[in-house]
Structure 1
Amino acid sequence: MPAAHNGKAAKSSVEPTAEKKGHICPPSNATHPRDRWETLFVYAFMCKFTQLRSKVEGLDSPMDFEEALLSHEPHPIMTHVLTRFVLNLRPGARNISPDQISSTVSAVLAEYFKKPERTVFWDEEQKRNVDPFEQVDGGFFSVDWDLKLKILRQLVELQLTHSPAVKTLIDRAWGVVHNKHKKKETPDPPPLDPSDPFSMESLSFNPLGQDNTRKRYWVVDDSPRVYMSTNPWKITAAFQTVSSTREEYVALVEKMKASAPSEAKEHEKRSKVEIAHIALVKALEGRLEAIDAELARVQKLRKKIEQRAILLAQAEIRQTRTRRQTRRPDYVYFDGGESDVSLLLS
């Protein structure tokens, strides 16, 4: 019975709580994939959890990945990336040829969209995941780079949470042991060495450093590509590329040096921000040797690819060239005898 006050029943003050909605990040105004954090996210996953970068010809840097994203045709790099992602999620997949991979990606996404798990393509009004291919006629390769990037991001997130191979790597790196209560014939393996490519230290992705304005700088390989972001934990975080070539990289280092704090006076204690900025400059300078070696390696590979392409083109020309066949005339030789002509004249 409801409590009474002054002889009147008190009205219930309990009101239905409004459904909580997740934070929605403001849309990016980037006009190129280099200035989207999803590009770094997908490429970093490829470098850390797959062998795509070492096995796919032409995939040597984030710039190569971006070129494939911008292509309006079925790009070989993108085809290899999609194939690897599909096989991670569906190890027994068969329809992974270049002409079928787009429909296979659509089928894989549709399979996961049936679950209540919210994805990048969750629609609040419909309360379901909306298939990004519903209004697309030409498949994955016909859409713009923005939608391609969203699809790739979703495939990466699905692999991190559902792919048996990827989850095994993560569990091994972080020392996660399942079924601890069960007796095992063999002891658990020791922690991986930090230098191991699949160790916790190698699979983790942290900024290279932070400058005196608290901006973070990110690198994922030995290319000159450097990304800059503000606080990534805020939904309004900014993200952009600040270096893609060696010249831009050197200019960035000089800029960081110019804004570095002056020499500390005796017994003067530096702030954490100043210490971080100095460490960032040192880290950026320390990468120059590795960048030069990587650029030389890539240049050598590109020359080999160009030479092979030239040889293939020349071979094709030789095969398709039409030549007029010539036949040697049949000569008649006489050994001193009378010819038919002389017989006729006689």
Structure 2
Amino acid sequence: MDPSLPPPPPPPMVPSASIPPPPPPTEAPPPPPPAPVEALAPPPPPPAAPKEEEPKPVEVVVAPQAAPAPAPKQVLPEPDCAANDWQTGFCWAFIVKFHHASLIGRGGISNVLDLENGLHTEGHSEVLSTILQRFVLAFKPLIKDMKDKTLPKHLVRTIDTCLGFTSMSVYHDCPAGVFAPAIPLPTGEKDEADRKALNPLRKMFQANRRDDEPSEGSHGGEDAVGSRIWEMDWRERLKLLRQLVDWQLAHSESIRQIIQDNYKMGHQKQTDFNSKTNPLIVQPIGQDRKKKRYWAFDDSPRIYTSTNPYKKQCPLTPATSTKDELLHLIEEFRQPISPTFIATQEATIAAGGPAAKKAKSAKNLEEKGKAVEVEMARWLEEEHLPLIEKEEARLDRARKKQEQMAIAIAQADVRTSRTRRSTRKPDYVNGGTGNGDDDDDGNASDSSGYYSSSSNRNTSKGRTSTRAASPEEWRGERRSTRVSLSNNKMAMDEAAAAEQDPSTMIPFPPSPEPEPASTNAGEEGAVEKMEGIVEKGDSAASLAQGGSEIKEEGMSEVGFGGAVGENGVKVEMSS
């Protein structure tokens, strides 16, 4: 061996029999190493495989499974118009029961269709204005200037007041399905700002206030805030109406008094829940085979349908709106049950078995539902239709009356407030003491020396009085008929006495000879004077004391102190 080379590696160590081999791997024991050639002893027996330990039972902890999620409830779709919204029927039923006399037949309101049209009207609506005025007066009946022009400010103040009540409203912050508010209600005196912040009209005003509009606190600010009612859509208007109805039912004194009177509220056992004696209770007119309930809130063709009203979701939709639709519904109620359905159920019942009981129950329910439908058809035709015609006639009379009042108001502008004719008091002239132009109308005396006056009554401007011309042409002052008749009777008695005893006549100093009677030409209503002298003892003559005028004019209306003698000769007394 070359000493320069490295020594060879030592031979591998041969394991001794006394030393146990290392533990084999868990997968599989390795084969025993080959025995060296030099070893003469027999190879050791292979090591025994280690005993596999029995696995311990594993405790499986199962996590508690969550309860299966409930099936999502069917959510009703949003109504596309006011007619399909349950709040419309609710508000109209309230109007019919509590404001029938003050609203229906006034302001263009006759049935629920007018309310629906008013909700959909863009801008100002006369129907909605009339309803809101009545609702505001239910809270504040002492308002004297309630009219369409002052409605906005009173509406804003009423909503502010109602938001301070200790009851929830649709404008309070309340989670869905929870009847407790998220925050305490702003009912205190210090919470006035919070209540105003909940007012929907104030919210809308702050959101879209125009530059030319006043602020809320300045003069005319409440009018500008309240006018936002005419800018709301039909959903917001209906929401506000419904909330005002809720507030009236809970807090209006007049409405609460109506409820107390009709329900006879006192002791619970005495409360009247009978729809026949309590007009405020509304009961369905019946239920059809499909379990749909039918409602009639007023005497109109509008009939509503609903599901179970005691469930949370209960849509209230119109079934009929006109008389033709109502007649068609009556015919549907009278349709018989399908013969195919009856034959099928009877065959199932005859076959027996578990299905027979169900078929029998289904047949009985169908027959009972049909009986109810026939009864509803009878009630609608015999009782409801006559009420509809009677209500239509009443509304037609009310409409004509309103038209006549409108015409009278329009004509009142051109009328004068004075009921008497405007005239100037005539200036009476006696004995020729007037102007020289009237000398022709002076006094005249007969040959016996008795005085007879036939002077004309002229005004200061020379106008001849037309009192003696005819009753139609006389435009002088009005005189009492009762006093005139009394004086006429007295004068007639004196004239009759003078006719029997001429010595009782009072002589007067002679007067100048009368000139021929002349007619004032050109003046309307001139009076012709008597020609000649009335002879003494003439049966047609009558003479009164204190000087008199004898005119040959027959008049139906005699003035104060006058008398009518025989043959239509009128005697008037001059003071």
TM-score (norm 2): 0.42
TM alignment of 1:54-203, pairs within 5 A? 54=104, 56-94=106-144, 96-124=146-174, 127=183, 130-137=198-205, 138-177=227-266, 200=278, 202-203=279-280
Q: Find 2:86's aligned residue among 34, 37, 41.
A: 37
Moved more, 133-142 or 56-65: 133-142
- Contact kept? 1:173, 1:192, Cα under 8 Å: no
- Contact kept? 1:212, 1:273, Cα under 8 Å: yes
Once residues 162 and 402 of structure 2 are traced to their aligned partners in structure 1, the CA distance between those partners, rounded to angstroms, is: 39
- How far does the alpha carbon of each residue in 1:100-126 deviate from its partner, in whole angstroms, 9 at most, with x for none? 312322221222223442112222266
- Contact kept? 1:72, 1:141, Cα under 8 Å: yes
Q: Find 2:387's aligned residue among 290, 306, 310.
A: 290
Aligned to 1:233: 310
- How far does the alpha carbon of each residue in 1:47-67 deviate from its partner, in whole angstroms, 9 at most, with x for none? 111223445142111111222
- Give how far 1:278 is off: 2.7
Q: Tell me the amino acid that sits aligned with residue 281 of structure 2.
A: S
TM alignment of 1:204-283, pairs within 5 A? 204-258=281-335, 272-283=368-379
- Give how far 1:27 is off: 6.6
Once residues 405 and 162 of structure 2 are traced to their aligned partners in structure 1, the CA distance between those partners, rounded to angstroms, is: 42
2:334 is paired with a residue of what secondary structure? helix
- Contact kept? 1:173, 1:191, Cα under 8 Å: yes
Once residues 64 and 261 of structure 1 are traced to their aligned partners in structure 2, the CA distance between those partners, rounded to angstroms, is: 39
- Taking a change above 3 Å as real, the CA distance of residues 49 and 303 of structure 1, as seen in their structure-2 partners, is closer
Aligned to 1:343: none
- Give how far 1:158 is off: 0.9
Once residues 96 and 257 of structure 1 are traced to their aligned partners in structure 2, the CA distance between those partners, rounded to angstroms, is: 50
- Contact kept? 1:260, 1:277, Cα under 8 Å: no
- Taking a change above 3 Å as real, the CA distance of residues 168 and 312 of structure 1, as seen in their structure-2 partners, is closer
Once residues 119 and 336 of structure 2 are traced to their aligned partners in structure 1, the CA distance between those partners, rounded to angstroms, is: 35
Moved more, 212-221 or 124-133: 124-133
**Structure 2: gaps of 5 or more residues:** 1-72, 176-181, 186-194, 206-226, 343-362, 416-575
Structure of larger gyration radius:
2
- Give how far 1:134 is off: 3.2
- Contact kept? 1:43, 1:62, Cα under 8 Å: yes
- How far does the alpha carbon of each residue in 1:240-284 deviate from its partner, in whole angstroms, 9 at most, with x for none? 11211111111111222226688x9xxx97765344323222222
- Taking a change above 3 Å as real, the CA distance of residues 139 and 203 of structure 1, as seen in their structure-2 partners, is same
Once residues 264 and 90 of structure 2 are traced to their aligned partners in structure 1, the CA distance between those partners, rounded to angstroms, is: 24
Once residues 124 and 275 of structure 1 are traced to their aligned partners in structure 2, the CA distance between those partners, rounded to angstroms, is: 45
Once residues 193 and 272 of structure 1 are traced to their aligned partners in structure 2, the CA distance between those partners, rounded to angstroms, is: 24
Decide which structure has greater helix share. Answer: 1
- Taking a change above 3 Å as real, the CA distance of residues 109 and 308 of structure 1, as seen in their structure-2 partners, is closer
Once residues 257 and 237 of structure 1 are traced to their aligned partners in structure 2, the CA distance between those partners, rounded to angstroms, is: 26
**Structure 1: gaps of 5 or more residues:** 1-23, 179-187, 320-346
- How far does the alpha carbon of each residue in 1:283-334 deviate from its partner, in whole angstroms, 9 at most, with x for none? 222222322343444456556667887x689979x99xxxxxxxxxxxxxxx
TM-score (norm 1): 0.67
Once residues 94 and 314 of structure 1 are traced to their aligned partners in structure 2, the CA distance between those partners, rounded to angstroms, is: 24
- Taking a change above 3 Å as real, the CA distance of residues 248 and 308 of structure 1, as seen in their structure-2 partners, is farther
Q: Tell me the amino acid that sits aligned with residue 60 of structure 1.
A: S
The structure whose RCO (Cα within 8 Å, separation 6+) is larger is 1
Once residues 288 and 273 of structure 2 are traced to their aligned partners in structure 1, the CA distance between those partners, rounded to angstroms, is: 32
- Contact kept? 2:85, 2:315, Cα under 8 Å: no
Kindly tell me the number of residue pairs found equivalent between the two proteins. Answer: 277
- Taking a change above 3 Å as real, the CA distance of residues 259 and 237 of structure 1, as seen in their structure-2 partners, is farther
- Taking a change above 3 Å as real, the CA distance of residues 216 and 78 of structure 1, as seen in their structure-2 partners, is same
- How far does the alpha carbon of each residue in 1:52-88 deviate from its partner, in whole angstroms, 9 at most, with x for none? 3445142111111222222223323222211211121
Once residues 337 and 96 of structure 2 are traced to their aligned partners in structure 1, the CA distance between those partners, rounded to angstroms, is: 32
Q: Tell me the amino acid that sits aligned with residue 101 of structure 1.
A: L
- Taking a change above 3 Å as real, the CA distance of residues 298 and 279 of structure 1, as seen in their structure-2 partners, is same
Once residues 291 and 275 of structure 2 are traced to their aligned partners in structure 1, the CA distance between those partners, rounded to angstroms, is: 28
2:304 is paired with a residue of what secondary structure? strand
Identity of aligned residues (%): 27
Q: Tell me the amino acid that sits aligned with residue 90 of structure 1.
A: K
- How far does the alpha carbon of each residue in 1:195-232 deviate from its partner, in whole angstroms, 9 at most, with x for none? 7xxx52x1111212211111111111221111111112
- Contact kept? 2:291, 2:307, Cα under 8 Å: yes
CA RMSD, Structure 1 to Structure 2 (Å): 3.6
TM alignment of 1:283-322, pairs within 5 A? 283-286=379-382, 287-299=384-396, 302=399
- Give how far 1:96 is off: 2.8
- How far does the alpha carbon of each residue in 1:13-66 deviate from its partner, in whole angstroms, 9 at most, with x for none? xxxxxxxxxxx9957522221112211111111111122344514211111122
Once residues 116 and 254 of structure 1 are traced to their aligned partners in structure 2, the CA distance between those partners, rounded to angstroms, is: 50
